[in-house]
A and B are shown apart, each in its own frame.
Chain A
């Protein structure tokens, strides 16, 4: 439904030129909850503002339902935004804020009033309809901003870190609320966040960005299980990286050695998630290593075991307390660990860059 092809954006000129976005391409399907995830300054807001039409691209095209909308002004695009700062009109009531888009479109009152009431009940704010928007709590303002952006039934809803101003508890509630709204309305959401957990729990697909480039686009599960490179692996969830050497269809880490297919001869980096590190030897199809228990950190549901390898490399293993427990482990103890082949990933050290 939305095709982004080779979209790029440069700010400034001459020596002060900054390329915020480098030829980004991807497609978003109807009804998808699509998330742009990346660290600060990676170009998420820039991409969103290009889609909304507040800035125009330096190159590439933006095709919505088969039409190139790159030159269309924001007030003609069937795309609405929930701003990070909410940007509610402070001189208007909640109802007036929500009615704004329909009034700007010149719809008749008879159509506006029921639509506003319907939208307000959808976000559970009908009882605050006549309240000034400046007299609302953060969470309430958030809902008004949502209702205001949804009322004109846009083709795409853009959300720029809409939850970042809320406290933890409210944030979790709003995540669920947002997901519910998206399911109920069947709308396409493009959601921006730099919180990987938020991205994993809410999205159908995630585009991980860094340095103005898309590093990987995949479902949350794929991203977690098979990160495309070290940047993605490090940004999503926790990871252990090990320097290894490949030769004749096998990899070597220190004294450990294991057959692993698809490894080109030479040095490479292996990645394994902490929950896959086994604190016992003699596992089939696994890389066995000797390690020292440096530290045990208790987290309630699980314990993080910090391990040191002979060559100085560090690893973290996560052990679920209910299943295994770590009561028999002591700090300073030397143990054997196993890294199962099916949990090991060869990751590209380089992120996608110029």
Chain B
């Protein structure tokens, strides 16, 4: 370990460090600084320190008597974002795990075909995909027309611009992100273990609970994170499916930087989102690290 060697190693890792600084740390720093400034009159910021941005994330000042209350609008959007993301994760789990199971248990030659079908939507623009879902459920859309034609309903059902619409859109968009990692885990599963468990008097349910689920858990956790994190920050889908009625965090942030002209609040909300994502990731590493520790200890 001499001088030139250390220097060389530093020089070689410089590009990576530069990229991380430039594209990750620096923008985050800018956002953090902006969240402590004063909103400008026509957007942008004035360089005057203020915690109003952070204050407005959760609270609001009554215009008439200057009392402080919780910000109902922001809280409900925050709350909706979390609930919808959790629900999206759960629903993609319910549909994704059996789908992954189905694909992984096909003969190897057929698996690629099914995986191809799952990944096709990835190759289509997100906006186009979301509008396709909209086309299914809008008042003059496919579902309503079929139901009307069958005489099951007299009036079209209003499905667009509801939490249901956002949930449907996000489930559709994020399902492949659940299927793929779970598939990878099931494909690695040694089915001789299932056979061994049947031999040792296990019922199907017992085998599922005690052998299969514990062994595919890493894939299930990875899929959940891959769905939950982008759900939380989703922008396009709630925008198209929820409109102004069923907003999520992403849309609220967009609003502050646009019409709201409150960049510090937008920045504070962005940091809040990042922290929520970070918490989810910490939970994830805890889960997997715990597993590894037990694997080795």
Q: Which residues of A pack against B, CB within 8 Å?
A: 52, 54, 73-76, 79-81, 83, 85, 87, 89-91, 100-101, 103-105, 132, 134, 148-149, 152
Contacts and interface: CB of A to CB of B under 8 A. Distances in A.
Contacts of B196: 81, 83, 87, 89
A80 B215 contact: no
Contacts, number: 62
A134 B197 contact: no
Interface residues of B, number: 19
Interface string B176-218: 0000000000000010110111111111001000110011000
Interface of B: 190, 192-193, 195-203, 206, 210-211, 214-215, 294-295
A11 B209 CA distance: 31
Contacts of A75: 198-203
Nearest to B206: A104
A100 B197 contact: yes
A257 B185 CA distance: 72
B192 A74 contact: no
A104 B211 contact: no
24 contacts: A54-B195, A54-B198, A74-B198, A75-B201, A76-B201, A80-B199, A80-B200, A81-B199, A83-B192, A83-B195, A87-B193, A89-B193, A89-B197, A89-B211, A100-B197, A101-B200, A101-B201, A103-B206, A104-B202, A134-B295, A148-B200, A149-B200, A152-B200, A152-B201
A104 B192 contact: no
B202 A91 contact: no
For the residues of B in contact with A, the DSSP-based class is: helix
For the residues of A in contact with B, the DSSP-based class is: mixed
A46 to B, nearest CB: 14
Contacts of B295: 132, 134
Given A75-B203, A83-B196, 20 more contacts: A73-B198, A74-B199, A75-B201, A76-B201, A79-B199, A85-B192, A87-B195, A89-B197, A91-B214, A100-B197, A100-B202, A101-B201, A104-B201, A104-B202, A104-B203, A104-B206, A104-B210, A105-B201, A148-B200, A152-B201
Contacts of A79: 199
B52 to A, nearest CB: 52
Given A91-B215, A132-B295, A100 B200 contact: yes
